[in-house]
Structure 1
Amino acid sequence: MATSFDLDLFVIGGGSGGVRAARVAAQGGAKVALAEESRMGGTCVIRGCVPKKLMVFASTVPGTLAEAAGYGWRVGAASFDWPVFRKKLHSELDRLEGIYRAGLVNAGVTIHDQRAVIADPHRVRLADGTEFTARHILVATGGRPFRAEIPGCESAMVSDDVFNLETLPKSILIIGGGYIASEFACVLAGLGVKVTQFYRGEQILRGFDGEARDLVAEGMRERGVDLRLGTTIEAAEEVEGGTRITASTGGAEVYEKVLLATGRVPNTHGMGLEEAGVKIGKAGEIVVNEYSQTDVPSIYAVGDVTGRIALTPVAIREGMAFVETVFGGNPTPVDHELVPSAVFTQPELGSVGLTEDEAGGRGPVEIYATSFRPMRSAFAGAPDRVLMKLVVETESRRVLGCHIVSPEAGELIQLAAVAVKMGATKEDFDRTCAVHPTMAEELVTMKMPVRRLG
């Protein structure tokens, strides 16, 4: 006799991956419920990609005004009103949350606005004590900022807090060298905050192409970020007006705010996962197979909580593949190869495929690269430089990686990623006629390699 369940699917987590899986499964006829203890939309919509990108847009205006003067425009005095921007920002997030919620309701998903934990492989318990049984459980609880314990920095912010500041600080120290730390350094500097950034490593944006990292760091410094590499906090003390920080490289300074941006961790604590038999990795991530299934056959997980690739579009694709596998009868593994990404620093960095260092370890490769002042910046008298770079496998001629540092690099890399994903060769790029005058035309006009490796 078949076991009867209250639901076909219970989704824990209302971020991009969980919402997409719940909605599509319900549209296909499944009986679905979703629990979210915070706001619908998750990290991306509420405290990540979306509000951050809107802040990026706001922070680029001073550069645009400066450039305008270089083109003959007479620009008057301008100032930034954070409360006005913040009010409009939160109104937009409310609107987007409403869209996510309406999509679930219209698909027939039952929403529970409270925390949910796993009671056993087929049972979920809500914070109010209500329990539901489900044939399948999908965990999509995402991640959260890692808060490093630094004596004297107890009042330090994490990235979530930036969007809720009542007023912008006059000065801030950002700890970290990843994309979150570097993006916020550029954003806040562009909005008029005096920004200092400490990173213990030799260069920011570890994992990205070295040449691209160097150019981004150079551009950040030109825009006013006091970037200090090989530097950590030696001592910290909360004083009147902020926090007095002593750097490991010497010297002390008081910063009105301190932002800890030293990574993120999966939201798995206290969820009953291990008690139910789900394997948890060393970093707290849920261990899954290529179909996003855990060691417990009825429990699946998608998105940042799995510690795979922490990008919203990846979580959405994982959620879709889960639905196709479990409810579509078509086992669909998730393709995590050649996923493009962008870092919204100033300048932006777009990347897909292997870096020069990564490719150099797998056989002979050729590096095609050019760095130059684009026409727009040069005419305005700005020092900005851009980078266009291709990593090419010598034998097959296949383009293994593409790396761009430039304005709108995120937009450019999305299109380049199509060619790289299709397995385009250097000759395919060469056969493509250039669009002139553009920065991106350099991707199809580089004839001679600048380096050969392996």
Structure 2
Amino acid sequence: MTDTLDLIVIGAGMAGITAAKKCASAGWSVAIVDELPYGGTCALRGCDPKKMLRAGAEAVEAARRLQDKGVTGETRIDWPALMKHKESFTDPVPDSMENGLTEAGVRTLHGRARFTAKDRVEIDGHGEIAFRHALIATGAKPRPLEFPGAERLIDSTDFLNLAELPRRVVFIGGGYISFEFAHIAARAGAEVTLLDRGVRQLKTFDPDLVAMLLERSRAAGIEIVAEAEIERIEDAGGAQRVVYRKAGESHTTEADIVVHGAGRVPAIDHLGLAAGGVETEYGGVKVTPWLQSPSNPRIFAAGDAAASPGKPLTPVAVFEGKIAASNMLKYKRTEPDYTGVPSVVFTIPELARVGLLEEEARETGDVEVRFTDTSGWFSQKRLGESHAGAKIITGKDGKILGAHMFGPDYAELINVFSLAIKLGLTVAQVKFMPAAYPTGASDIGSML
């Protein structure tokens, strides 16, 4: 490959694959490279396999909630069988993704890539490649932790590939990963402890609904310890002993595995960015509002690797990949619109949000905040769910500024509010929507 490529994409996750196909369809010569199997974190090591495992936890939890309400007998998770169910989705993904790229005219490469100049990369096993443009879409990786014994941790990828689920599991961190996996592990019968150094968990979500989630998590058997500063992890006769400090005192807990759930950072430190003339900020590739490197205009970045305003979510990576590709193809400066992007913590039940938090909305002026405890509503009663709530924030003009929800199926319902915020709809306009009854959507009018 001695000719100069129109585009080299580094990272075969959703942002990179989207951009590669778009540029190839426009007639560009495109190659994509990844040192990991094609598909990225979401499809192989995150969102999708997690949701596959969650299906088992949901089924067990549903049966338990309806005990003495018409459902009898013990329901339990067969972890190896559930893992095979997960693998029935994940195993075909890399070949499927690569075949799709090949059919689109994209050359697929495997190996670690690093910049050697502003217009060149070197790829293990393929030598040096020249390019007119490059897209950095390498995603994120677990944040390095520096306390003694940190090497004893397993990460989210390891957890999603456990052949057997150990009896005792400790999660470090109070974010998405810890809570989602903790809810799966608890329903699968593990003794689960979550240690978070912060006062407040899931800080990007509504605190009133997070409090409801914490109560529900504890009811599911998850021990949550806040303001727990990890001092070290050490051997405990084949198990792991976690030593942490809380309120000035040292405490210990033992587990069979300790899982890193303490955040992720852009996976860019292996790329030789300095040789490529690429600047970084906030841990990611520094980009203009239209996703271009200001220090090397040949290069764009998208998804979790970019220091853009976008949240580290798959839909954001996809549309950033599309916009980066369009800007390269057409020499435009189109900026991504992040309005109305929802995010969900897939606990059981789930916690969802879109738009502004209450504290953010109040900074914009007069707002109306309506909080409703929906735990006694039909939607929850039929499922035997004890905890659910919604908080809707509107402006003086009646437009919805933020929606925050905790309850069964609210991950689907939040999409209605996402559309409302994206289109600038008012409460009156949303209430005008006739919804099928009885469904979750039929509750929207009462929430407003």
Bucket of the pairwise TM-score, normalised by the shorter protein: over 0.9
Q: Contact 1:70–1:379 (CA<8 Å) still a contact in 2?
A: no
2:39 corresponds to: 41
Q: Residues 301 and 12 of structure 1: is their aligned pair in 2 closer, same or farther, counting only changes over 3 Å? A: same
User: Pick from 8, 12, 15: which aligns with 2:13?
Assistant: 15
1:67 corresponds to: 65
2:181 corresponds to: 184
Distance 1:31 1:271 in 2: 22
1:97 corresponds to: 94
Q: Contact 2:340–2:355 (CA<8 Å) still a contact in 1?
A: yes
Structure 1 counterpart of 2:399, which letter? Answer: R
Q: Residues 151 and 387 of structure 1: is their aligned pair in 2 closer, same or farther, counting only changes over 3 Å? A: same
1:343 corresponds to: 345
2:313 maps to 1:311: yes
2:221 maps to 1:224: yes
Structure 1 residue 128: Cα displacement: 2.5
Structure 1 residue 419: Cα displacement: 1.0
Q: Contact 2:60–2:76 (CA<8 Å) still a contact in 1?
A: no
Q: Residues 61 and 446 of structure 1: is their aligned pair in 2 closer, same or farther, counting only changes over 3 Å? A: closer
Q: Secondary structure at the match of 1:368?
A: strand
Please give the residue correspondences for 1:381-400 in structure 2 after superposition, counting only pairs within 5 Å.
382=384, 384-394=386-396, 396-400=397-401
2:292 corresponds to: 293
Q: Contact 1:388–1:440 (CA<8 Å) still a contact in 2?
A: no
| CA-to-aligned-CA distance 1:59-88 (integer Å, 9 cap, x gap) | 11211222343431333x343222222233
Q: Residues 264 and 66 of structure 1: is their aligned pair in 2 closer, same or farther, counting only changes over 3 Å? A: same
1:405 corresponds to: 406
Distance 2:366 2:191 in 1: 45
Structure 1 residue 227: Cα displacement: 1.1
2:81 corresponds to: 84
Q: Contact 2:19–2:321 (CA<8 Å) still a contact in 1?
A: yes
Q: TM-score, normalised by structure 2?
A: 0.93
Structure 1 residue 271: Cα displacement: 1.1
Q: Secondary structure at the match of 2:274?
A: coil
Q: Contact 1:152–1:237 (CA<8 Å) still a contact in 2?
A: yes
User: Pick from 354, 362, 374: which aligns with 2:356?
Assistant: 354
| CA-to-aligned-CA distance 1:336-358 (integer Å, 9 cap, x gap) | 23311111012201111001111
User: Pick from 23, 26, 29: which aligns with 1:28?
Assistant: 26
1:334 corresponds to: 336
Q: Contact 2:139–2:305 (CA<8 Å) still a contact in 1?
A: yes
Q: TM-score, normalised by structure 1?
A: 0.92
User: Pick from 375, 378, 382: which aligns with 2:378?
Assistant: 375
Structure 1 residue 265: Cα displacement: 0.9
Distance 2:203 2:328 in 1: 36
1:148 corresponds to: 145
| CA-to-aligned-CA distance 1:210-256 (integer Å, 9 cap, x gap) | 11211111111111111112222244321114112233235423211
Query: What is the count of residue pairs matched by the alignment?
Result: 440
Structure 2 counterpart of 1:52, which letter? Answer: K
Q: Contact 1:348–1:408 (CA<8 Å) still a contact in 2?
A: yes
Please give the residue correspondences for 1:261-276 in structure 2 after superposition, counting only pairs within 5 Å.
261-276=261-276
Computed over aligned residues only, the root mean square deviation of the Cα atoms, in angstroms, reads 2.0
1:426 corresponds to: 427
Q: Secondary structure at the match of 1:321?
A: helix
Q: Residues 156 and 342 of structure 1: is their aligned pair in 2 closer, same or farther, counting only changes over 3 Å? A: same
| CA-to-aligned-CA distance 1:406-444 (integer Å, 9 cap, x gap) | 112211111221011111122223434465444444432
Distance 1:14 1:341 in 2: 23
Give the percent of matched residue pairs that are identical in Structure 1 and Structure 2: 33
Q: Contact 1:338–1:421 (CA<8 Å) still a contact in 2?
A: yes
1:256 corresponds to: 256
- Structure 1 residue runs of 5 or longer lacking an equivalent are 448-454
Q: Secondary structure at the match of 2:154?
A: coil
1:278 corresponds to: 278
1:125 corresponds to: 122
| CA-to-aligned-CA distance 1:308-336 (integer Å, 9 cap, x gap) | 32111111101111222221455422112
Distance 1:431 1:445 in 2: 12
Distance 1:405 1:275 in 2: 47
Q: Residues 442 and 61 of structure 1: is their aligned pair in 2 closer, same or farther, counting only changes over 3 Å? A: closer
Please give the residue correspondences for 1:431-446 in structure 2 after superposition, counting only pairs within 5 Å.
431-433=432-434, 436-446=437-447
Distance 1:436 1:370 in 2: 20
